[in-house]
Amino acid sequence: MNVDPVSSRRHAVPRRRRPAGPAVAGLLVVALVLLAPSGVFAALNARASATGSVASGTLDLVLHADTGAGFSSVAPKMAPGDADNVYVDLTNSGTLATVAGMRLWVGAVPATALTDGTAPGEGLTVRLARCSVAWSMATGTCPGATTPLLATTRLSTMNTLATARALANVPALAAGGSVAHVQVSLGLVATERSVNGVPPVRTVQARSTVLTFTFIELQRTGMATRH
Amino acid sequence: MFRPTNRRVRRTAATAVILALGVGLVPPIASAAGLGGRATGGGAVATGTWGATASVTSMTFTSNTAQTTTVANTGSVALGAESYSVTLTKPFFFTPTVSLFECPVPWERGACPGGTGTRIGGTLVAPTTTTITSTTPLAVGSSTYLQVEPTGVFFLPMTVTLTPEVTSPAQLRAPIRTNR
């Protein structure tokens, strides 16, 4: 008599099934143990609670034009060595003071060789300085005392929040305080040789993008208050 | 009917434990950080192009008759100077030489109308590869006219290749500072 060996094995050796119940129960126990303390803590404190009012402060940074049009216009057909300057004020319009310092990063849409570093050693740069009085629009010079905030920096090194650069010489700002008369100077670095009208493969020529300068301030350190 | 295998149950349990540990142990980072105020501003930026293009880049001489080429600023940035990479091939016999002259208007029968052409570079002796530079400013869209004048060419062909090159920032117009 022919017997199908496969079929025979399948019926002769039934698969043992371990019940899943203990494992699932163990999982629940572990989860409860880990999450339980916060619940217990809340329950105990509820019995000793008291009421009182609390209000939080706000931190709000506002950027607006100083002298000139600010960030509203376009820099067309930049060439290496050119400088495109805009003049802005940064005001802490919240109700909290800030710590000294500020950070800046510059995003670009779309990312191109101007800002992403794909043309090594080339691309847009930014430099920030502060003047004690309003800048001269005719010459782009500071009639008063100049304070550097950021040395010339390639945008490809500060094009994300994670790579935001710290600005120097920015004092702590009280509520309503400002960093006024800031010159934001955009430049272009490019050492390229065009041969018979053709630029190199990795080039910053004929590129365009929209830049977003993001200034970040941080609140003053927290204060412990006793009542 | 779906029945979970032992392996699947164990894997599920392990995943749940890891998730539970994550919930219980990860500190509340966000609440530890202070407030951050942000202000943004920006604008569009575009870059120009720079380069010069020659109408003829290769010339073959079998006599001492001059040949010309027109070099135009085909970029969007004015140029303060241009370079030319020049290569001369030497015939099997003879050692010809070449001189380059520049004229602000097209050459007419070998002469620069209204004056003499301006020599750029020295006398080149075949064979050679060299770079010569003209300090003629070229506005966007404008042209300069070159004449290649050989001597010592007798029947045997000599080839001259002439390729304009523009290097930034040295050969571009003076930088522009814009305050807005």
Residue among B38, B47, B167 minimizing CB distance to A188: B47
**Shortest Cα–Cα distance, A71 to chain B (Å):** 5
**Shortest Cα–Cα distance, B54 to chain A (Å):** 6
Q: What is the C-alpha separation between A74 and B86, in angstroms, rounded?
A: 40
Residue A22 lies in a domain: no
Please report the pLDDT score of residue A47 as a whole number.
Answer: 56
Please report the pLDDT score of residue B75 as a whole number.
Answer: 97
Instruction: Give the number of beta-carbon pairs within 8 Å between A and B.
Output: 226
pLDDT greater than 80 at residue B14: no
Q: CB contact, 8 Å: A59 with chain B?
A: yes
Q: CB contact, 8 Å: A80 with chain B?
A: yes
Residue A6 lies in a domain: no
Residue A45 lies in a domain: no
Please report the pLDDT score of residue B19 as a whole number.
Answer: 39
How many structural domains does chain A have? 1
Write the pLDDT tens digit of every residue in B100-130.
Answer: 999 999 999 999 998 878 999 999 999 999 9
Would you write out chain A's pLDDT as a tens digit for each of its 227 residues? 444 444 444 444 444 455 555 665 555 555 544 444 444 444 444 456 667 777 777 778 888 888 888 887 777 899 999 999 999 999 988 888 888 989 999 999 999 999 999 999 999 999 999 999 999 999 999 999 999 999 999 999 999 999 999 999 999 888 888 888 999 999 999 999 999 999 999 999 999 999 999 999 887 777 788 77
Residue A146 lies in a domain: yes
Note whether B47 contacts A206, CB cutoff 8 Å.
Answer: yes
Note whether A80 contacts B169, CB cutoff 8 Å.
Answer: yes
Q: Which CATH number fits domain B52-165: 3.40.50.300, 3.30.450.40, 2.60.120.20, 1.10.1740.10?
A: 2.60.120.20
ipTM above 0.90, yes or no: no
Burial A44-80 (b: 16+ CB within 10 A, else e): eeeeeeeeeeeeeeebbbebeebbbebbeeebebbbb
For chain B, what is the HEC assignment? CCCCCHHHHHHHHHHHHHHHHHHHHCCCHHHHCCCEEEEEEEEEEEECCCCEEECCCEEEECCCCCEEEEEEECCCCCECCEEEEEEECCCCCCCCEEEEEEECCCCECCECCCCCCEEEEEEEECCEEEEEEECCCECCCCEEEEEEEEECCCCCCEEEEEEEEEECCCCECCCCEEEC
Domain range summary for chain B, segments of one domain joined by + = 52-165
Give the structural domain span for A165: 61-191+203-216
Residue A135 lies in a domain: yes
> Please, what sign has the CA dihedral across residues A117, B75, B44, A133?
positive
Percent of chain A with pLDDT over 90: 52
Residue A65 lies in a domain: yes
Percent of chain A with pLDDT over 70: 78
Residue A53 lies in a domain: no
Q: Which residues contact A78 (CB under 8 A, 6 or more apart)?
A: A84, A186, A188, B45, B46, B47, B48
Q: What letter represents residue A182's amino acid?
A: V
pLDDT greater than 80 at residue B15: no
What pairing do the DSSP bridges indicate for beta strands B67-73 and B118-125?
unpaired
